[in-house]
Structure 1
């Protein structure tokens, strides 16, 4: 009987899946964080970015495109946005900028192909977000906004696998 229990416990141990490495990381939000929470989380891969700036001041709004679908703009979409469309198999691997006096003043998105979109004013305290895991990319942004502009921003990173067939 003891032998049967040992054999069965060995089968159970062999049949258990090993934990996968943690491919998720979070870049802690910066800014004063007043206002309403937001998240750009959506299904699919990020394929575009739009950013609105209050004239020569802070960032008013951000919008991400996942595959062919634009998210609801964060905060406001007033004025003309600056926009970047990502190429096939291109991803965002860095988000940086500056914050000061309650708002995000500058934001820059850098891609895996070395391209970038920089919007806003280089004023305030610098921040630099990037994934801590290899093969990770920007999956979504979160933070707070107050109706006039973005007051805080954080970045969520993970590997993107569109189907179970891909590693």
Structure 2
């Protein structure tokens, strides 16, 4: 009996010493999902976003900046790039828009700023975290070489190592 108590107390001690897991949530991808998979997952915090708008209507591609380093371009750079650099301690807390034959994307930050690109026509969507304090960590989905065909958002609480 004494052994069982020692084992259980050791388990409780180990359980209490472990840090709480980061809160993570995934907003399911929207769009038809055809084409090649992509993911913008990188280490660090997102510090900027760049989106290419083609012919004032279609999203041809995008990049995220992590700690000032841009990810590989997702899809293509047709058209005009539109960019937003995040302020210190600012994060993306919502991705919304519309999709059908093209996309309209709007990225909303924790400081109430937004970047809106594309034309508002089609089916509306709104992607956001399920846990307070979470922020956009990366985007994933599919593209067909001409434009984005689906987009999903991955959210988590960010812990700085500084």
Instruction: Report TM bin, short chain.
Output: over 0.9
* 8 Å contact kept, 2:55–2:79: no
Alignment of 1:13-162 (within 5 A): 13-18=11-16, 20=20, 23-101=23-101, 103=102, 105-162=103-160
Q: Distance in 1 between matches of 2:56 and 2:89?
A: 33
* CA offset digits 1:52-77 (Å, max 9, x no partner): 11213221001100001000110012
Superposition RMSD in Å: 1.5
In terms of Rg, which structure is larger?
A: 1
Tell me the SS of whatever aligns to 2:10: helix
Q: Distance in 1 between matches of 2:72 and 2:21?
A: 32
Q: Which runs of 5+ in 2 are unaligned?
A: none
> Deviation of residue 21 (structure 1)?
5.2
Tell me the SS of whatever aligns to 1:11: helix
Q: Which runs of 5+ in 1 are unaligned?
A: none
Q: Hey, what does 1:6 align to over in structure 2?
A: 4
> Deviation of residue 22 (structure 1)?
5.5
Pairs aligned (count):
160
> Deviation of residue 136 (structure 1)?
0.2
